[in-house]
Amino acid sequence: MLEVLELSKTYGHIAALRGVSLRVERGQLLGFLGPNGAGKTTTMRSVFGLVAPDSGQVRWGGNEITEEARLRFGYMPEERGLYPRMRNLDQVAYFGMLHGMSRHNAESEAARWLSEFGLADRAKDRLEELSHGNQQRLQLAAALVHSPDLLVLDEPFAGLDPLGVAAMGEILATQANAGTAVIFSSHQLDLVEDLCDDVVIINEGSVALAGAVRQLRAAAPHRHLQLEVRDAPTDWIDTLRGAAVIARDGDRVRLDVSEGVELSTLLEAAQEAGDVVEFSYEPPSLNEVFLAAVGQ
Ligand code: ATP
């Protein structure tokens, strides 16, 4: 298990981290969320010893992280760190050897991952000859080649096309199912909601919210009601108590409903106003939970 304990880091007058704590178990896929500048990259870099925190600790399996333990970690950094002129297969194999694999093993695993990503025929090309999305796939291959126990990915979905996003999501889920501890940052919250059971949301260097996505959504004090009422007077919604319009598109409205408001009352009012075509009640999305947590 990876444990980040009370990490703090200041750059000049900027407090990048103010006591960030989180944990990722083996087999868990954790979404690490936060607005730009919240401290996600700084936290991730701390796990690899690339940032020296002012205080706090990072532990793996209950112990301080040694160089040896770190060889069993895989990292896909935000500033993708591959060599533009190196040949693709050699590059991935090189990362394998950096993590202690024999040349033979590293080359055969590199070939396996290239083939997994549909890049087998690009093995002898150079990185700079690949498209952005394929460079991203190669960066992931470099992080995975040594079958790490912990996988840390900084915005792995950025810049991928929908097919690439789906493939990346599947790989991360497969890795977690196989027992790897996986943590990744992303701004694509609908994707995170589909992929992760658990999230940590940080804001201005502190954890704003953490837990199971389902519970965080269910615990939100407001519910959303999706309504479509045809042939209703335009102002009928304005007379409802305890419900505020979030979005409106013709006859369709999305309402924010306060706790304690009786749904039956809303349904009766809608039926009196017109022809009810849709009436669905749900907790807020992860996106809405996120916006509330970071104060927007
Ligand atoms: P993004 O979503 O934009 O990638 P982030 O959550 O990863 O953001 P960080 O990159 O961790 O955020 O940055 C946190 C804060 O620390 C920001 O205010 C950033 O400007 C600052 N910071 C990060 N690295 C440095 C550095 N090397 N020198 C000075 N300030 C830094």
Question: For the chain (length 296 residues), average pLDDT per consecutive 10?
Answer: 97 95 96 96 95 96 92 88 90 95 97 94 93 90 96 92 89 95 95 93 96 91 87 83 86 86 87 92 88 86
pTM recorded for the entire structure: 0.88
**What is the whole-number distance in angstroms between the Cα of residue 6 and the centre of ligand 1?**
17
Cα–Cα distance for residue pair 3/251, rounded to 1 Å: 49
Domain residue limits at 183? 2-216
**What is the whole-number distance in angstroms between the Cα of residue 205 and the centre of ligand 1?**
9
Return the residue whose CA atom lies nearest to atom 4 of ligand 1. 36
Beta carbons of 159 and 4 less than 8 angstroms apart: no
Q: Which of 184, 201, 216 is the last residue of a domain?
A: 216
Residues 225 and 201 grouped into a single domain = no
**Closest ligand 1 atom, residue 202 Cα:** 6
- Helix count (H) and strand count (E) of the chain? 10, 14
Question: Structurally, how many domains does the chain consist of?
Answer: 2
**What is the whole-number distance in angstroms between the Cα of residue 246 and the centre of ligand 1?**
32
Q: State residue 34's pLDDT score.
A: 96
- Secondary structure, 3-state, 57-104: EEEECCEECCHHHHCCEEEECCCCCCCCCCEHHHHHHHHHHHCCCCHH
**What is the whole-number distance in angstroms between the Cα of residue 245 and the centre of ligand 1?**
36
Residues 37 and 151 grouped into a single domain = yes
Q: Using a 6 Å CB cutoff, which residues line ligand 1?
A: 11, 14, 16, 34, 36-42, 78
Beta carbons of 18 and 204 less than 8 angstroms apart: yes
Residues 29 and 173 grouped into a single domain = yes
Cα–Cα distance for residue pair 218/224, rounded to 1 Å: 11
Residues 168 and 136 grouped into a single domain = yes
